[in-house]
Amino acid sequence: MSAVSIAPDTKPTISYVSVTPDLARRWLRKNHTNRRLDWHTVEKYARIMRAGNWSLDSNAIAFDPDGNLLNGQHRLNAVALSQVSITFAVQRNVPPQAMKYMDRGRGRTVAQNLRFENEKNSTILAATIRLLISVEDDLAYSAVSDDMIYDYLNDYPAVRASVAVGGNAKSDIDAPPTAIAAAHWIIQLSTQMVGAADRYIEALRTRAGEPAGSAVLAVDKRLREIRKHQQKYKTLDYVHLLIKGWNYWAANRSVAKVQMPKPGSALPRVEGWRR
């Protein structure tokens, strides 16, 4: 491959520019050869910008020697949409041939973007919401889109509290924190009883004062057996077990053993509080 020759007066340069919404719109008028615009990405970036969480990085807004935009259309559209001025690295006199090598990096995951927006427990939060949507909408876990997760979080901001419960309990309960968070959320929504799901998870954490025959002790025993024997189950199976345990515990019913569900079993209906 032959090297691209660069005339002295078109040598690439880089600077840092505070891009206002008006400047972003002017630059976008020279956007002629970029890929198709993804407005979901633009809206996501705009949310981050409005929240004041956009960080300066090395991914430059790039222009060729004729001033045509080669890279940065999503960020510039987000500036225009957000009505916030953002400082970017800006590279000029970039050879047009370089465009084919731009944006080849791996995109951020939902969890990484949530962390970027200063969300706590971002990995558990993203996984929990994805699991809840897959159950509620009867979708494959992998079929849940990123935008569905963001929309769910906007519609149900209280899910963060359940995720915090799952994160705090992961050292005390032998179940994935995502399963604990999802079970807590489902129980809380189904019973509409403030604090009931908290009491159940706390009982599972401590087992303090639980009498013989308690469903909490039965669930804890089953979870410990799974870990001891290194058995493999899906996260949703753990949610199933935790809800089954709740149904016994909330009804104050004695039980010696709680089994994991058969593959493909639907989640049990959440029983009301009768303790």
pLDDT for the residue numbered 147: 81
pLDDT for the residue numbered 108: 67
Which pair of structure tokens corresponds to residue 275?
Answer: 């303790």
Q: Determine phi and psi for 251, rounding to 5 degrees.
A: -90, 0
pLDDT for the residue numbered 105: 45
State the angle between helix axes of 122-136 and 159-169 in degrees (0 to 180), rounded to the nearest 10. Answer: 120
DSSP assignment of 180-206: HHHHHHHHHHHH--TTHHHHHHHHHHH
133-181 pLDDT, tens per residue? Answer: 999 998 888 888 888 898 899 999 999 999 999 999 999 999 999 999 9
pLDDT for the residue numbered 114: 86
**pTM as predicted:** 0.66
pLDDT for the residue numbered 272: 87
DSSP state of 140: -
Residue ranges in the chain whose pLDDT is less than 50 = 1-8, 104-106
Number of H helices, E strands in the chain: 11, 4
CA 258 to chain centroid, in Å, comes to 31
pLDDT for the residue numbered 107: 59
Q: Dihedral of CA 159/149/137/183: which sign?
A: negative
pLDDT for the residue numbered 6: 43
C-alpha dist (Å) from residue 178 to 79, 89, 167, 182, 244:
35, 38, 8, 6, 17
pLDDT for the residue numbered 263: 84
135 CB-near residues (< 8 Å, 6+ apart):
182, 236, 239, 267
pLDDT for the residue numbered 2: 37
For the chain, state the CA radius of gyration. Answer: 26
pLDDT for the residue numbered 264: 83
DSSP assignment of 160-174: HHHHHHHHHHTTTSS
